[in-house]
């Protein structure tokens, strides 16, 4: 009994020595060697409608994802009250949009800054168009309260990645268009819902690209052209090998090609007999 009590006291003292933030950092550092987690995040802001008006963060939402299994490890979402409530509309044009009444009693950014920092700092950041918008708004919000902004170890902007790898098959590259293309439903323009939709869009795009890379001549034929054209592009403009040519065209094409050479009458007869 005495040994059990001493062990319990020792463990209790160990927990008290390590603050929560330090413990979270220690866990991250221990897993950093083998795996870095991805933080998908999204911001909802006001839309400036007059000169001199700035962006205010009205909602933050994020999920932490394991890159190996794409499992959601953690999620967080909060409405945020701006210093100037007049920038938020009394009524939203969307049925589930953010209104002035919704954020009136929400915490300020300073009150949730610690949680946002712990989710984003030291992780890979991912999101749709985050490089040009969300990342800038995060830095502005932390600068507003006089604190250093979180830093990523890498960034995945799905807008740029999908434009380059997947192409504009859905028309424009807005998240709503991509979700409609894959039948994933309507974009709600709420932070947590949008980041989960972003992950699902990436999964669908990656699956399509994987399948197309497995059978490029079959699955890419209608989109990129005929297999013959693709073969020529891979061989830097050279003619396909004899086996490929025999499958794409009848045998007489070889004789026709021989006749285009200015042979003498006797040599042409010998060549024809050999063919």
176 neighbors 187 (Cβ within 8 angstroms): yes
Query: Are 40 and 126 spatial neighbours (Cβ–Cβ below 8 Å)?
Result: yes
How is residue 73 written in tokens?
Answer: 């490890």
189 is catalytic: yes
Q: What are phi and psi of 69, to 5 degrees?
A: -115, -5
Bridge partners of residue 45, in order along the sequence: 57
Whole-angstrom Cα distance, residue 38 to residue 155?
9
Alpha carbon 254 to its chain's center: 50
- How far is the C-alpha of 12 from the C-alpha of 14, rounded, in Å? 5
Residue 61 CB neighbour total at 10 angstroms: 21
Total number of residues shown for the chain? 275
Which position among 8, 128, 189, 204 bears the catalytic label? 189
Task: State both tokens at 177.
Answer: 């268009």
Q: Comparing C-alpha atoms, which of 100, 157, 96 is closest to residue 125?
A: 157
CB 195 within 8 A of CB 62: yes
Strand order in the sheet with 154-157: 72-79, 57-65, 38-45, 124-127, 154-157
Catalytic residues: 189
């Amino acid at each position: 009994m005495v040994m059990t009590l001493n062990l319990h006291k020792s463990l209790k003292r160990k927990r008290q020595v390590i603050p929560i933030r330090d413990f979270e950092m220690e866990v991250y550092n221990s897993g950093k060697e083998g795996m870095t987690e991805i933080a998908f995040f999204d911001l909802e802001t006001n839309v400036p409608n007059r000169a001199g008006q700035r962006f205010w963060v009205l909602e933050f939402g994020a999920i932490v994802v394991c890159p190996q299994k794409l499992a959601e490890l953690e999620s967080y979402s909060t409405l945020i009250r701006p210093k100037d409530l007049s920038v938020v509309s009394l009524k939203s044009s969307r049925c589930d949009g953010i209104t002035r009444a919704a954020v009136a009693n929400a915490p300020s950014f300073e009150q949730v800054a610690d949680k946002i920092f712990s989710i984003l700092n030291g992780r890979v950041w991912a999101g749709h168009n985050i490089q040009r918008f969300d990342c800038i708004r995060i830095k502005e919000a932390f600068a507003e309260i006089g604190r250093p902004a979180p830093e990523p170890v890498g960034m995945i902007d799905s807008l740029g990645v999908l434009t380059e790898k997947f192409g504009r098959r859905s028309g424009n590259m807005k998240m709503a268009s991509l979700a409609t293309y894959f039948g994933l439903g309507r974009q709600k323009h709420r932070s947590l819902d949008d980041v989960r939709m972003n992950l699902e869009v990436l999964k669908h795009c990656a699956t399509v690209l994987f399948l197309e890379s497995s059978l490029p001549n079959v699955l890419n034929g209608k989109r990129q052209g005929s297999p013959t054209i693709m073969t020529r592009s891979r061989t830097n403009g050279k003619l396909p090998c004899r086996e490929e040519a025999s499958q794409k065209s009848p045998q007489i094409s070889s004789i026709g090609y021989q006749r285009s050479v200015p042979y003498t009458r006797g040599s042409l007869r010998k060549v024809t007999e050999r063919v």
